[in-house]
């Protein structure tokens, strides 16, 4: 195992978030987007120009994913919507309101598989009860595929589409499932078990060699595990609460990492002035582009073209500060 505490970790310009999550590389716009689970802000960063800013949302988001339209898909506390990142406007999709979830549950993380199906997890917002579930949303509707989570994180999918990785953060475990072509999960097994010193597994991303990168909440860094679940690299960060990560840039060799101020004591906040900020690392192994959600793969009442046209009017060139609530640094 190689510890890379000496690897250059760059602090990106921009504002700190209370609980940054859902980081997404938008190759169409060449921008990173992420949300703050505790506040209604959409953050963005453009690696090529180092420009950054944030845009007001109607409610806080939990995760972001690309789609086969100019819109992004956003998971909110108990619903999912189509987001126009130019304006911050969201059109909620009434098909996913999670009426069957306990009142104290919310969405936490999401991903897309190679077929463009949406996968997302829920969690107990008090982080006490294993009431969280893992869902799959496809043309057949919304399906519960696994249960018993206090805090869900992930999911991510291998390049060949054969496996899904998903974390039970409070249990310090990352699971691997075999994935069928029709989206059924079998052969659940513990792939990684974190030690107390490693913290809790949070967001995840895959590189082109099949390495699984995992953010470490309360773990002061990120770690890489090979195809067999063996730890191969740890990269230290100057903040303890590391939340998520995404490969970005034209060749996907830049790894961006989100962090949080939430959960820190006043003393820890003083000791970690960069908490809640975005970090960048240059890696020799490129990442894997996260698949886009295919709107035609979801059980929507509108046709895919209608969903796209109603969702947003995007020019694909970048954000436009459409109102006084938009900020740019």
Q: Give me 75's structure tokens.
A: 């998971």
Which residues does residue 152 pair with via DSSP β-bridges, in sequence order? 168
Between strands 231-236 and 2-3, the pairing is parallel
Do 90 and 77 form a contact (C-beta atoms < 8 A)? no
Q: What is the pLDDT of residue 12?
A: 98
Q: What is the pLDDT of residue 292?
A: 97
Strand order in the sheet with 231-236: 2-3, 231-236, 221-225, 212-217, 200-206
Topology of domain 2-328, CATH:
Neuraminidase (2.120.10)
* Count of H-run helices and E-run strands, the chain: 2, 26
Q: What is the pLDDT of residue 95?
A: 72
Q: What is the pLDDT of residue 238?
A: 97
Mean pLDDT by runs of 10 across the 329 residues of the chain is: 59 98 97 98 97 97 97 95 96 78 94 97 96 95 95 96 97 97 95 98 98 98 98 97 97 98 97 98 95 90 43 32 44
End-to-end CA distance of the chain: 39
Question: From CA 29, how far away is CA 173, in angstroms rounded?
Answer: 34
Catalytic residue, from 84, 124, 146, 202: name it: 202
Q: Which residues contact 72 (CB under 8 A, 6 or more apart)?
A: 24, 26, 33, 64, 65, 66, 82, 83, 85
Q: Measure CA 177 to chain center.
A: 19
Each domain of the chain, given as residue ranges in start order, spans 2-328
Residue 202 designated active-site: yes
């Amino acid at each position: 195992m190689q510890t890379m505490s000496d690897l250059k970790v760059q602090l990106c310009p921009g504002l700190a978030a209370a609980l940054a999550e859902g980081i997404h590389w938008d190759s169409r716009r060449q921008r990173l987007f992420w949300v703050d689970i505790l506040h209604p802000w959409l953050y963005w960063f453009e690696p090529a120009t180092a420009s950054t800013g944030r845009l007001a949302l109607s409610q806080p988001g939990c995760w972001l994913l690309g789609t086969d339209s100019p819109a992004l898909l956003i998971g909110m506390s108990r619903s999912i919507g189509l987001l126009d990142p130019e304006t911050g406007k969201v059109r909620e999709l009434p098909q996913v309101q999670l009426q069957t979830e306990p009142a104290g549950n919310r969405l936490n993380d999401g991903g897309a598989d190679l077929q463009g199906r949406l996968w997302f997890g829920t969690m107990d917002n008090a982080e006490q009860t294993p009431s969280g579930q893992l869902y799959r949303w496809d043309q057949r509707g919304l399906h519960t595929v696994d249960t018993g989570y206090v805090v869900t994180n992930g999911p991510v999918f291998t390049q060949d589409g054969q496996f899904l990785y998903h974390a039970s953060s409070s249990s310090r475990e990352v699971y691997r499932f075999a994935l069928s072509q029709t989206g059924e999960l079998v052969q659940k097994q513990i792939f990684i078990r974190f030690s107390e010193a490693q913290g809790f597994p949070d967001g995840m991303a895959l590189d082109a060699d099949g390495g699984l990168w995992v953010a470490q909440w309360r773990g002061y860094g990120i770690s890489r595990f090979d195809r067999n679940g063996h730890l191969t690299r740890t990269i230290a960060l100057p903040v303890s609460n590391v939340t998520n990560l995404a490969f970005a840039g034209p060749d996907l060799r830049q790894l961006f990492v989100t962090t949080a101020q939430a959960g820190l004591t006043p003393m820890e906040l003083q000791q970690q002035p960069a908490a809640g900020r975005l970090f960048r690392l240059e890696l020799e192994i490129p990442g894997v582009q996260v698949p886009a959600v295919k709107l035609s793969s979801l059980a929507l009442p509108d046709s895919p073209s209608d969903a796209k046209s109603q969702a947003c009017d995007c020019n694909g060139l970048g954000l436009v500060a459409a109102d006084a609530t938009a900020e740019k640094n």
